[in-house]
Amino acid sequence: MTDPNTEQIQLKHDSTWDIFLIFLRLGLTSFGGPIAHLAYFRHEFVEKRQWFDEHAYADLVALCQFLPGPASSQVGIAIGLSRRGIPGAIAAFSGFTLPSAMALVLFGFALPAVGNLLGTSWLHGLKVAAVAVVAQALWGMGKTLAPDRVRASIVVAAACIVSLLPVHWEVQIGVILGGGLIGCTFLRSGKQQPSTSHTTLLIPVSRISGTISLFLFFGFLFLLPVAAAMSESYAIKLVDSFYRAGALVFGGGHVVLPLLQSQVVPAGWVSNDVFLAGYGATQAVPGPLFSFAAYLGSVSSGTPSGWTGACLALTAIFLPAFLLVIGALPFWDQWRRYTLIRNAMPGINAAVVGLLLAAFYNPVWSGAIHSAADFCLASMAFLLLVFWKCPPWLVVLFTALFAGLGFY
C-alpha cells in the first residue's frame, strides 16, 4: 500500500515539463492502437516509474473504458491530471497527441502533390489497408465483447439498424442506449463486484469542479448543434461536428470512423477517397487514432482549413475527453459500485461492435474493394496483421507500395 504522504511528495517532483517529455516520447513510439497504448502506459507508469500500483492503474483504465471517447488518451489525461492537475493533463495530452497530429496534417498537405506524382493507385492501397485494419479491430473486439448469443445478436441488430437508417448521431445514440437497456435486462451478473484499489488516487479536482466540468460537457453537447443550425459560420459547424464525434463514441478510435464519415463526407467537406486515404495513413503513425481529426480539419474544403482547421478539429474532438475525465474522476469510486451501470456496459460494448461492423461495410469495404485483386490484397494485409502480428505501419506501407507500383 502506498503512503499518501509519500505520494504527495512525489507529486512535487514531477514538473509539467517532465510530464510533457515523457508523453512526447510515448507519442513518438507508441504504435499499435489503444490496447497497445495502455500496455505502454502500464510499463512506463506502473513498472518503470511506479507512479501507480496495479490496482490504481486498473481503476483508471476501467473509468476510461466506461466513458465515451478515446480510452487510451483519457488514461493519459488522467495520469497527467493526477500528477500536476489540469496543467499536467494538458501536458500529457499534448505530448502524446502532437506527433501523430502534425504528421497527418503534413500528409494532408502533401496528398495532392504525391498523388499527382505517383498516381492514385497508392491512395487506393491506403484504402485497402483501412479494410484490413478495421477487420482486425472487429476480429478482436468481437471475440472479447460479443462472446455469447445475446451480445452477438446486439452486434448484428445494431449493424443492421445503422446500415438501413440514415446515418445521424441520434440513431447511433439510440443504438448505444438500446444496447445498454438489453444489457440491463438480459446480461445481469450479481457476481460481478467492483475492483478495489490498494492506492487512493490523489486527484487534485474537487467534486464541485467535477460537477462544473460535467455541466460544460452536456452544455456544449446540446448547445453547439443549436449554434451551428443558427449560424452560417463554417468554424462553428466544424467544432460542433467534431465535438459530438468525440462525445458520443464508445470503443475508441476505430468506432469514431462512422461518426466522422457521416459528418464530413455527405456535407462535402472531405471527399470519401481523401477520407479513406487519411484513415489508412493514420494506421502508419504512432499515438492516438483520434489525431485523424487534425487531418480532416486540414484538408477540409471549408474555411478555416490548413493548420487552423486542424487545431479547431483536434481541440473539438478531444475537449469532451478532458471534460469527462475531470468531471468523472471525483465520482468514479461511487459510480462503479452501481449494479445497473455494470450490467449496462456489456450491452453498450456489443452495440459499439455493431457500429464498427456497419462502418466496415460502408464506407470502408464499399469504398475500397472493387475487384478480386482488391479482395486478395486486403486478405493478405489482414493475414499479416492478425496472424503474423506485423505492426500496422508496416502493413500500411506494404499495401500502399504494392498498389502504387502496379503489382496488381
217's grid cell: 460537457
Show Cβ contacts of residue 157 under 8 Å, excluding neighbours closer than 6 positions.
354
Please tell me the predicted confidence (pLDDT) of residue 202: 67
Q: Residue range 198-215: average pLDDT?
A: 79
Entry pTM: 0.75
* Dist. CA 239–CA 244, nearest whole Å: 8
| 356-401 residue pLDDT tens | 788 788 777 887 899 999 999 999 999 998 899 887 778 888 888 8
| 277-298 residue pLDDT tens | 888 888 778 889 899 999 999 9
Please tell me the predicted confidence (pLDDT) of residue 189: 61
In a domain, 127, yes or no: yes
End-to-end CA distance of the chain: 60
Can the peptide bond before residue 363 be classed as cis, meaning omega within 30 degrees of 0? yes
Check whether 251 has a pLDDT greater than 70.
no
Q: Residue range 61-90: average pLDDT?
A: 87
Check whether 141 has a pLDDT greater than 80.
no
In a domain, 395, yes or no: yes
What's the domain range around 166?
98-404
In a domain, 260, yes or no: yes
203's grid cell: 486527484
Check whether 191 has a pLDDT greater than 50.
no
Q: Name the DSSP class of 290.
A: G
Number of structural domains found in the chain: 1
Check whether 12 has a pLDDT greater than 60.
no
Please tell me the predicted confidence (pLDDT) of residue 124: 81
Check whether 1 has a pLDDT greater than 70.
no
Contacts made by residues 170-175, CB under 8 angstroms, sequence distance 24+ = 172/248, 172/258, 172/259, 172/355, 173/248, 175/351, 175/354, 175/355
Please tell me the predicted confidence (pLDDT) of residue 6: 39
Q: Name the DSSP class of 48.
A: I
In a domain, 227, yes or no: yes
Check whether 114 has a pLDDT greater than 70.
no
Residue of higher predicted confidence among 312 and 56: 312
Q: Residue range 7-34: average pLDDT?
A: 76
242-256 burial by CB neighbour count: b if 16+ within 10 A, else e? bbbbbbbbbbbbbbb
Please tell me the predicted confidence (pLDDT) of residue 55: 72
211-231 burial by CB neighbour count: b if 16+ within 10 A, else e? eebbebbeebbeebbeebeee
Confidence of residue 4 (pLDDT cuts 50, 70, 90): very low
Amino acid at 368: A
* Percentage of residues of the chain with pLDDT beyond 90: 36
Residue 74's Cβ-count burial label (10 Å; 0-12, 13-18, 19+) is: buried
264's grid cell: 464530413
Q: Residue range 94-114: average pLDDT?
A: 90
In a domain, 272, yes or no: yes
Beta carbons within 10 angstroms of residue 108's beta carbon: 25
Check whether 168 has a pLDDT greater than 80.
no
* Percentage of residues of the chain with pLDDT beyond 70: 87
Please tell me the predicted confidence (pLDDT) of residue 194: 44
In a domain, 170, yes or no: yes
Please tell me the predicted confidence (pLDDT) of residue 32: 64
CA 210 to chain centre: 22
| 210-244 residue pLDDT tens | 999 999 999 999 999 999 999 889 999 999 999 99
In a domain, 194, yes or no: yes
Given a contact cutoff of 8 angstroms between Cβ atoms, the answer to whether 109 and 307 are in contact is no
In a domain, 88, yes or no: no
Q: Residue range 332-354: average pLDDT?
A: 79
